[in-house]
């Protein structure tokens, strides 16, 4: 290892400190707004203790938030959408990745090119035709409009194919010797070996769906079918205009579980970035 000069070490420490400050202070400040009254929030000014921490700590905002958005409907629905997309997409992508990694068949090149091409097509650009087809299928304003279009992805197929292709074919032979077919190889050999990549991809899919806003805001109109991100938006823009405290109670509810989820399984997420270098 090379030794760094003390100046460089000092400079590095300084830069890291400034960056930590720029990340932590805004997040912390936002989270404290959830524990303050509106009267206190509008008086925030100056570099004082009251700017950075609640002077009159309150949990009222959460009670008001839960009453306003029927959280026991919104939260389970949001989880249902995220988990359904995750499970469906993992299974369907893995199934499709298998023949691309292991089998010879007519049209393989063409079909794989199609998969690659869909990787670079962002949903945002296709929102108008997607709206029309969702409408034609009678899926407008249904939960399935948030799930079915995302039940497979070019990125997921590509990501898993790369992993399957790296598993030596000798592993398959054991299953074939026992008289197993492709389904046995897939379920008994490859899927268990792919535990790490499946968790990584699952986490990426889950977070993408959790973050999803354009699609639900465009397709869903019934108040009883909104997901959390849209519920927070609707709350502030339609019902509780200027009620900063209740908005940030919602922000707290949306932010904190995700931070803990990330802390729990971040090594898989980081592994995904390092191995593929591609965002979900």
Partner 1 sequence: MTDILLSRQRKLSWSAYLFLAPAFLVIVPFVLYPVFNLFYISLFKASLLGRMKFIGLGNFVSLFTNDDFVSSLSVSAVFMVSVVIIQTVIALFVALLVEAESRRMGLIRTIFFIPVILSFVVVSYLWKFIYNSDFGLLAAIFDGLGVQRQGFLSDPAQALPSLIATCVWKSWAFFMMIFFAGLKEIPQELHECAHLEGANGFQRARYVTLPLLKRTILFVVVVTTMDAVVRVFTPVFVMTDGGPRGATDLLIYFDWRQAFRLGDLGYAASIAVFMFFFVLIVSLIQLNLGKEDHA
Nearer to partner 1, 33 or 143 (CB): 33
41/167 with CB nearer partner 1: 41
Q: What is the SS3 string spanning 210-239?
A: HHCCHHHHHHCCCHHHCCHHHHHHHHHHHH
Nearest to 85 by CA among 93, 74, 75, 73: 93
Residue closer to partner 1, measured from CB, 55 or 278:
278
Both tokens of 218, joined, read 């465009």
Options 71, 92, 193, 199; binder of partner 1; rule CB under 8 A: 92
Among 95, 167, 193, 199, the residue binding partner 1 under the rule CB under 8 A is 95
Among 61, 84, 200, 229, binds partner 1 (CB under 8 A): 229
Question: 216-222: which pairs have CB atoms within 8 A and are 24 or more residues apart?
Answer: 216/146, 218/127, 218/131, 219/131, 219/134, 219/139, 219/140, 219/141, 219/145, 219/146, 220/141, 220/145, 220/146, 221/141, 222/141
CB of 19 to partner 1, least distance (A): 7
Least separation in angstroms between CB 130 and partner 1:
5
Q: Among 3-11, 53-61, 63-71, 188-196, which window interacts with partner 1 (CB under 8 A)? A: 3-11
Q: Per CB under 8 A, which of residues 123..162 are in contact with partner 1?
A: 124-133, 135, 137, 148-149, 151-152, 154, 157
- For residues 79-103, b (16+ Cβ closer than 10 Å) or e, as one string? bebbebbbebbbeebbebbbbbbbe
- CB 70 to partner 1: min, Å: 18
Which of the stretches 60-68, 69-77, 170-178, 188-196 binds partner 1 when contact is defined by CB under 8 A?
Answer: 170-178
């Amino acid at each position: 290892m090379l030794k760094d000069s003390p100046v460089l070490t000092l400079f590095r420490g300084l830069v890291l400190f400034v960056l930590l400050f720029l990340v932590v202070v805004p997040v912390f400040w936002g989270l404290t707004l959830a524990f303050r009254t509106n009267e206190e929030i509008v008086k925030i000014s100056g570099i004082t203790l009251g700017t950075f921490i609640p002077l009159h700590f309150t949990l009222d905002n959460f009670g008001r938030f839960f009453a306003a958005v029927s959280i026991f409907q919104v939260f389970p629905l949001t989880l249902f959408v995220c988990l359904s997309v995750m499970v469906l997409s993992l299974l369907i992508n893995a199934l499709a990745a298998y023949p691309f990694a292991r089998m010879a068949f007519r049209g393989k090149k063409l079909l794989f090119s199609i998969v690659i091409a869909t990787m670079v097509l962002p949903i945002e650009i296709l929102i108008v035709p997607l709206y029309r087809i969702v409408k034609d299928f009678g899926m407008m304003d249904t939960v399935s409009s948030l799930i079915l279009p995302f039940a497979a992805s070019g990125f997921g197929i590509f990501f898993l194919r790369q992993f399957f292709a790296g598993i030596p074919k000798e592993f398959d032979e054991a299953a074939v010797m026992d008289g197993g077919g492709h389904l046995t190889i897939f379920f008994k050999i490859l899927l268990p070996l792919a535990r790490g990549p499946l968790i990584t991809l699952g986490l990426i899919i889950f977070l993408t769906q959790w973050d999803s806003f354009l699609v639900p805001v465009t397709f869903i109109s019934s108040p009883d079918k909104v997901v959390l991100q849209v519920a927070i938006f609707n709350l502030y823009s339609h019902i509780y205009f200027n009620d900063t405290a209740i908005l940030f109670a919602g922000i707290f509810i949306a932010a904190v579980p995700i931070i803990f989820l990330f802390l729990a399984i971040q090594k898989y997420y980081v592994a995904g970035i390092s191995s593929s270098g591609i965002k979900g």
